[in-house]
Structure 1
Amino acid sequence: MLKTTVYLPEDLEVRLDAEAAATGVSKAELIRRGIAMLLDASERPRDNAPLPVFRSGRSRGVDEMRDDIYRQIKQRSARR
């Protein structure tokens, strides 16, 4: 897991503390669940297509493959 700092208004912090105490679930877990719910409910289109497979008929170097993958990622990001 990665660590992220989130600043909360005092009233939200109080409510989060109360929910954690009442349910026995850590504040961090409640925050993770809330973020997951928000992202799962998002109507933003998801592009779950796999990264492209390159079949050029010739051997390719790591740098060339990396550049092609970066180019594909950049193109997909621009569509969002």
Structure 2
Amino acid sequence: ELDKRKQRRLARKRARQINKTLPTAAETLAAAAETLAAALNRWVQSIKPALATLCENMAAAFSNVAAGLREESEAVEND
């Protein structure tokens, strides 16, 4: 019987400790998530110019390929 009482006391004590630390842990986790989201947003913003340049270069390359294909097609038609 004493062991069961000690176990219940220990369980209540641990529950109180968890109740004290749980809000702090949740706040810490929320702050970490906000920091991560902000860092991800800054990273995305920083690569946008590079992505724009990449897309422009790819568009120019495809345009050149299309022009070359048109020229070849016209040359075949004219022969």
Above 0.5 in TM-score?
A: no
Superposition TM-score, scaled by structure 1 size: 0.22
More helix by share: 2
Q: Whose radius of gyration is greater, 1 or 2?
A: 2
Structure with bigger RCO (C-alpha 8 Å, 6+ apart): 1
